[in-house]
Amino acid sequence: MTKLYKQKINRLFYGKWPYKIECFLPKSSMIVRLGPEKARLWANGHPDYAGWWNVSPGQKANVLEFLDKVEPFLKEELQIRTEGGHFNIFCKHVVLRDHLLQELDQWVIDVQGPASEEELAYMLAAGGKKVVCNKLPHQQYRYKLHFKTNMPADSRSKFLSWSNNYKDRIFIAESTHKWLDGKKHWAQLPFMYIEDSKTLSMFSLFLGDNLRIIEEYVLRSSINSSLDQEI
């Protein structure tokens, strides 16, 4: 088993990408906001972009240097997300990851990826619906069920009443419980845990279209022994 990173992940980023390279450079988001061609004009002081962000010539020079390095990769299979000065790159292939790290080394502040080749293979085969973990949530639950936030109030009330019959096999987060009970009108990410597949099937049938997504927790210790059977 080959160790890839200390910054281990337990699921694919956005259900697709196993690697994340986090770079930091103030105003690097302009590359995404304007696109490479216009960002280059902005960084070179083109008059059409004179009013775009009052930054120093040194900052623009740094962005231009970063753009020169990152632009050749923008046509590769990857995804970019920016927030403030953080320029995050997500990719799937290890060769591309290593090339990015080599070229962008001076801006990289964090790298994340699977803990092993086995976990990488498992995550890619399973997609974004399985979560690798060291222990199950509350030492008991194999599944996490996410509700749709537009679930009607009467459906929530009926579901909560019905779910009380299975208290020993489920766990509903407090904020979600209040939302189901009508004590909160809105919940950002309502969810619950379910212990086993039989109970999951019953709950999935009851919820129907009000079910958003189901995630399954898989113990790291089980991947090596069960990879062939589960994928």
Residues in a beta bridge with 170: 194
Distance of CA 37 to the CA centre of its chain: 29
pLDDT for 93: 92
Residue 208: both structure tokens together: 């129907």
Query: Position 174: which residue type?
Result: E
User: pLDDT-derived band of residue 228, with 50, 70 and 90 as boundaries?
Assistant: very low
60-87: pLDDT as tens digits? 899 999 999 999 999 999 999 999 899 9
- Separation of alpha carbons 78 and 167, rounded Å: 43
**pLDDT averaged over the chain?**
89
- Domain range 129-230, CATH class: alpha beta
Closest listed residue to residue 89, CA positions, set 68, 106, 112? 112
**What is the amino acid identity at position 13?**
F
Rg (CA), the chain: 23
Mean pLDDT (whole number) for 168-179: 95
Confidence at residue 220, expressed as pLDDT on a 0 to 100 scale: 87
80-89 pLDDT tens trace: 999 989 999 9
Q: Residue 210 carries which side chain, given as an amino acid letter? A: N
Supply the pLDDT for residue 52: 67
Q: Where are the beta strands (DSSP E) in the chain?
A: 19-24, 78-83, 86-91, 108-112, 130-133, 143-147, 170-172, 191-194, 211-219
* pLDDT confidence tier of residue 169, bands split at 50, 70 and 90: very high
Predicted model pTM: 0.75
Q: What is the mean pLDDT of residues 15-39?
A: 93
**With left for phi above 0 and alpha for psi between -120 and 50, is residue 190 left, alpha or beta?**
beta
Q: For CATH 3.30.70, list the domain ranges present in the chain.
A: 129-230
pLDDT-derived band at 160 (thresholds 50, 70, 90) equals very high
Q: pLDDT: is 7 or 78 the higher one?
A: 78
pLDDT tens digits for range 105-120: 999 999 999 988 888 8
- In the chain, % of residues over pLDDT 70: 92
